[in-house]
Structure 1
């Protein structure tokens, strides 16, 4: 144990390529994070880094397209597979297959075959992800306009990935020392989506200023919106004045009041709210130009506090005053399948959904006392509707979600002394030396690998299963929304859950334990079939996370994939054995079914949804099934 920690320390002290950094301190003078420019200009990215980023993304594209059956690899000898495309081009690569229909292509094994001048097929090493997408467009059934937009997203993703490779970044041992917000800035994006950092609408300069991987501190623009346009809502213990007092100093409040008065307005006739500076410049001052001119929207100035973007880009964590709220703000960009605004029904419904859920779940002795699960409430919001666009039937949603905000309890305000909180997604991170963060944490804990994994699976699954079985409620527990609290030895101990209003769903079957439910919030608390409720858990935990974690664990911790899935099944069985009286619910939300529907995220973008403007967000439809490794 001591030798391993000495080796980690020695490794972390090795010189690495870094840029000049700056630090921000909290009110106690303690360094809270460092920020610099880890995403260099594209001109500073070497051809080698660009090709390596492409090799990785090409392997991911082959893997995910094969999983979704967009392409159908034909087996050759050994572990080699061939894909023949309608364009006349073929790709051959080495790959392994795993549970839940997963594919894992070897990035260094791919070759591209095309007809030469004499009609013979010439095979060359393949590294170009965009070339593959052009080659396979006819096979997968996408069209030119869609491919044009998609290649824009892929190119933007590659630019960030290549810059990350060029810079190097911290090794897995160093990441253990980071706080949850700083760690978010080191993540590499959605594991399933090929174009996971598209951010259509951001320029290259915007990415360096506002993307999480840039690690740049952001100061928010505050505005006052007349109450004829804006509505504040909060949980019962949070008034509008209380939120402002929590988020702004007395001096700032006085200065903002003075600015409104200088325009001839009454400060109390306006709702005050933060706006992302990019959104203020690119959307609000354009779409709400008339309201700004008529002093129905008044700019107040920047916040004194500095914020750090989380992986969603639109959610900001306060780095100056860590006890203050996180704030979720709309951005008129396309990223990971949708426009990243905030629907008015979400801003309106966030406080009431939070009050109902926390009032229900905080009284549950298993969640409260035993599992000590933390539900990070969305405790206040501002809704602003556009005076003209909001009146037009079937108006595409991108135009209706440009102004509003949701305040959420911060992780820092709820974590214990000495507790380390990290997003679930961080376990899939692999540093440039090839070490996975999950393996680093397991080794650092001093526990046998299987014991650490068992703690992890029970920590993640038991609260989610308890809420689903007991109340017929599920969240969307993907890597961003799910955070894990670790003790001082990096052993998983409890779960933090967030993003209620966007992702919570309720079974349409009557569940007495839920008690009276909020009325008139079907958009916020959609009623769904229990099988669909279960699918949220399956998609986000099993397909969206464990499917990728299993091979990392096999490779770096020596736990074979079959054994990995037996341990996951063991965590489910342990909960079932603890509460046998819920057997009917276990059958209703059947986690041990023989198979699960497969939802094709990349197919949806390329073939089904494409980039057509829609009045509502598009619901994914299943495409086939996958065998359940827990069955």
Structure 2
């Protein structure tokens, strides 16, 4: 694992004030060194200046996103300024730059708040308090007090992390270039579309410092043995249960675990061995599965010898001790970015068979496999554990049913070339403490003209996604964490990596002969959807979810006007159409250039539609109006 000697910023970035009292009452569970072996200092509290700046930035984001999602109505006030009038009698005025899809990029330093004083006169003052804004806007949003209170918690938790990052600084964009994929993930700042993107409901302040990716703390997984009456192992045809254990655990550890079981009078082969996140073991498994633990149907084996780092999803762990080993996706009973972060049993059961099907289908495609060299990071093995009582009850909320299981996935380091750097698509949007975007640093390092580099980016990213969409009627829900880019020695994008197949892969319900026989019996794992919905995965995750933010960054820092940016994207799509004229009918079926696209409002869904209702199933998003598509313009 690569480290960066010149980075002198502390490796623990998050310190929340409310953790102080409990820290004095019990020994700290935090290690004394970070993943690079450097001592972890005792950090001071977040500074008031950093707290205000974090609020100011999040307030600007909330105004921009909530206007974009039609929760607020911006009124033009001339000279690039807008006003939002709230039912509370308060108004917010701000400067904003119009962007694609009707979105506005709000200037954080321009925001003022006007409210009627006790004397009856209106007073305008600079606005920076995002929590006060939530209070002001509450009646306008049309939601309930319970939702607002819980959302307040998510927003406050997000601000605490952002303010800690600002207090302690961070690695420069130039410094980030030297980091490997796993380390780079720990420097990212979360979902760019969702305002409360680090809510992590159920995590304490100490949990955030211990297990959140920005804390960059190595984690040792707890291994357990689950009786075969409860647990089911599944793997691809090339990978048996024994193969996984031989790969993931060294001989000494396997022998130690087996001795522990035998010493308790238990037969090791009667159990499926699997890892569990230490937080989940303590907060969920030993509580919900207390009966199974007491009756030795679930038996703790001990810690893994390897250290892991969490990615931005928190529940996916990358092995940093033995990088050839698998990534491990583990359930966590925390609410973050709209859903509880468990793993549904149908996903653990379906992961290997869907991986086997996709590999068999797509790796035989010479265009993808040989010309594009696209990498599909397979979910190759899994363990499913269903709750023996709750799973039999109807309408039990899903957070209680997804507490135990695991998926092993091929790691980036096991598939990349020796000289290749792999980074998430989302990392391009990262802006360092000096205001330099990571995409700007990569373009500078490449030596290419910005438009040339962007053309390479668009071809690398879009061509494989379009080929899978048009040729097979399949989409991977290619958001910024599922979509990774391989870069050559000059930091030029040259191939695409895709991950998170199960529950994110969708196929069209129209007949597509090229797909061949599909994995029958896994309709819930491999959902069939209308071609317009299939297309929307690409439009929302790539164009609305990332290019919407990347275009203004490129205009501001690379001198590429937004209009030029979108023309380059459109040109990439049309070039693909020209190369594969035999797919003409499907270009119309999955039309990426349509003038209007449905608007799916992620923040509105949490605050107004779904709220915090404890549902039996993960809910589907429904469109709320339409958006003008910048790709429709000639």
SS of 2:309's equivalent in the other structure is strand
Distance 1:164 1:119 in 2: 40
1:38/1:213 Cα in 2 relative to 1: closer, same or farther (>3 Å)? farther
Query: Equivalent residue of 1:438, what SS?
Result: helix
- Structure 1 Cα separation of the partners of residues 119 and 425 of structure 2: 53
* CA distance in structure 1 between the partners assigned to 2:212 and 2:521 by the alignment: 36
Give the conservation status (yes or no) of the 8 Å contact 1:39–1:164. Answer: no
| Residue correspondence of structure 1 range 115-130 to structure 2 within 5 A | 115-130=116-131
Is contact 2:11-2:216 (8 Å) kept?
no
CA shift at 1:262, angstroms?
A: 1.3
CA positional deviation for 1:18: 3.8
User: Tell me, what secondary structure is at the counterpart of 2:396?
Assistant: coil
Q: Partner of 1:76: helix, strand, or coil?
A: strand
1:111 corresponds in structure 2 to 112
Question: 2: CA distance between counterparts of 1:203 and 1:44?
Answer: 16
Whole-Å separation in 2 of the counterparts to 1:581 and 1:105: 44
Alignment of 1:117-266 (within 5 A): 117-266=118-267
Closer/same/farther in 2, CA of residues 295 and 549 from structure 1, 3 Å limit: same
In the alignment, which residue of structure 1 is the partner of 2:581?
580
Match of 1:82 in 2: 83
Structure 1 stretches of at least 4 aligned residues deviating more than 2 Å after TM superposition? 12-21, 32-41
Q: Are the counterparts in 2 of residues 484 and 493 from structure 1 also a CA contact under 8 Å? A: yes
Q: Specify the alignment match of 2:23 in structure 1.
A: none
CA positional deviation for 1:15: 8.4
Q: Note closer, same or farther for the CA distance 1:39–1:490 as it changes in structure 2 (3 Å cut).
A: farther
**2:506 alignment partner in structure 1:** 505
Give the Cα–Cα distance (whole angstroms) in 2 for the partners of residues 283 and 468 of structure 1. Answer: 39
Q: Secondary structure of the residue that 1:413 maps to in structure 2?
A: helix
C-alpha distance after superposition, 1:189-238 (max 9, x if no partner): 00110000000000000000000000000000000000000000000000
Q: Distance in 1 between matches of 2:325 and 2:42?
A: 31
SS for the counterpart of 2:273 is: strand
Deviations 1:238-283 (A, max 9, x none): 0000000000001111111111111111100000000000000000
The alignment status of 1:95 with 2:96, answered yes or no, reads yes
In structure 2, do the counterparts of structure 1 residues 554 and 158 end up closer, same or farther at CA, with 3 Å as the change threshold?
same
Quick one: distance in 2 between partners of 1:323 and 1:503? 25
Instruction: Judge conservation of contact 1:95–1:106 (CA < 8 Å) in 2.
Output: yes
- In 1, Cα distance between equivalents of 2:6 and 2:244: 45
Distance 1:353 1:107, change over 3 A: same
Q: State the match for 2:616 in structure 1.
A: 615
C-alpha separation in 2, matches of 1:373 and 1:501? 18
Distance in 1 (CA, whole Å) between partners of 2:197 and 2:6 is: 31
- Taking a change above 3 Å as real, the CA distance of residues 17 and 405 of structure 1, as seen in their structure-2 partners, is closer
State which drifts further: 221-230 or 92-101. Answer: 92-101
Counterpart secondary structure, 2:435 = coil
Deviations 1:403-449 (A, max 9, x none): 00000000000001100000001000000101000011011100010
Residues 409 and 593 (structure 1 numbering): CA distance in 2 closer, same or farther, change over 3 Å?
same
Map residues 457-468 of structure 1 onto 2, 5 A cutoff. 457-468=458-469
The answer to whether the 8 Å contact 1:36/1:214 transfers is no
| Structure 2 CA distance for partners of 1:523 and 1:255, relative to 1, 3 Å | same
> Offset of 1:365 from its aligned partner?
0.3
CA RMSD across the alignment: 1.5
Q: Secondary structure at 2:502's aligned position in 1?
A: helix
Aligned residue pairs, count: 609
8 Å Cα contact 1:459/1:495 also seen in 2: yes
Structure 1 residues 39 and 494: alpha-carbon distance in aligned structure 2, compared to 1, 3 A threshold: farther
CA distance in 1, matches of 2:234, 2:305: 24
Change in Cα spacing, 1:387 to 1:578, as seen in structure 2 (3 Å) is same
CA distance in 2, matches of 1:36, 1:331: 28
Q: Which residue in 2 is equivalent to 1:432? A: 433
Gaps in structure 2 of 5+ consecutive residues: 14-33
Q: Which residue does 2:379 correspond to in 1? A: 378
Aligned to 1:9: none
Q: Does 1:401 align with 2:402?
A: yes
Choose which of 34, 37, 48 in structure 1 pairs with 2:36: 34
CA distance in 1, matches of 2:182, 2:457: 21
Alignment partners' CA distance in 2, 1:324 and 1:425: 24
Mapped contact 2:506–2:534 kept (Cα < 8 A): yes
Aligned partner of 2:493 in structure 1 is: 492
CA contact (8 A) 2:599 2:623 kept: yes
Q: What SS does the corresponding residue of 1:541 show, helix, strand or coil? A: helix
| Stretches of structure 1 lacking an aligned partner (at least 5 in a row) | 1-11, 22-31
Distance 1:469 1:20 in 2: 45
Whole-angstrom distance in 2 between the partners of 1:18 and 1:584: 55
Q: Distance in 2 between matches of 1:162 and 1:40?
A: 17
> Could you tell me which residue of structure 2 aligns to residue 50 of structure 1?
51
1:316 match = 317
What is the alpha-carbon distance in structure 2 between the residues aligned to residue 273 and residue 104 of structure 1?
46
Kept in 1, the 8 Å contact 2:292–2:298? The answer is yes
Q: Is the 8 A contact 1:37 1:214 kept in 2?
A: no
Aligned counterparts of 2:563 and 2:305: Cα–Cα separation in 1: 52
SS at the partner of 1:630?
Answer: helix
- In 2, Cα distance between equivalents of 1:362 and 1:228: 36
Work out the CA distance in 2 between the residues paired with 1:161 and 1:245: 41
What is the alpha-carbon distance in structure 2 between the residues aligned to residue 452 and residue 554 of structure 1? 14
Q: CA deviation at 1:574?
A: 1.3
**In 1, Cα distance between equivalents of 2:355 and 2:7:** 47
Alpha-carbon separation, structure 2, partners of 1:366 and 1:242? 32
Asked if 2 retains the 8 angstrom alpha-carbon contact of 1:449 and 1:559, the reply is: yes
Measure, in 1, the Cα distance between the counterparts of 2:271 and 2:161. Answer: 40
Which residue of 2 is the match for residue 416 of structure 1? 417
Q: CA, structure 1 residues 40+611, in 2 after alignment: closer, same or farther (shift >3 Å)?
A: farther
Equivalent-residue separation in structure 2 for 1:255 and 1:245 (angstroms): 14
In the other structure, the counterpart of 2:273 is 272
Secondary structure of the corresponding residue to residue 192 of structure 2: coil
Instruction: Report the Cα distance in structure 2 between the residues aligned to 1:225 and 1:13, rounded to whole angstroms.
Output: 42
TM-score norm. by structure 1 comes to 0.95
2: CA distance, partners of 1:35 / 1:354: 37
DSSP 3-state at the match of 1:82 = strand
- Where 2:545 maps in the other structure, the secondary structure is helix
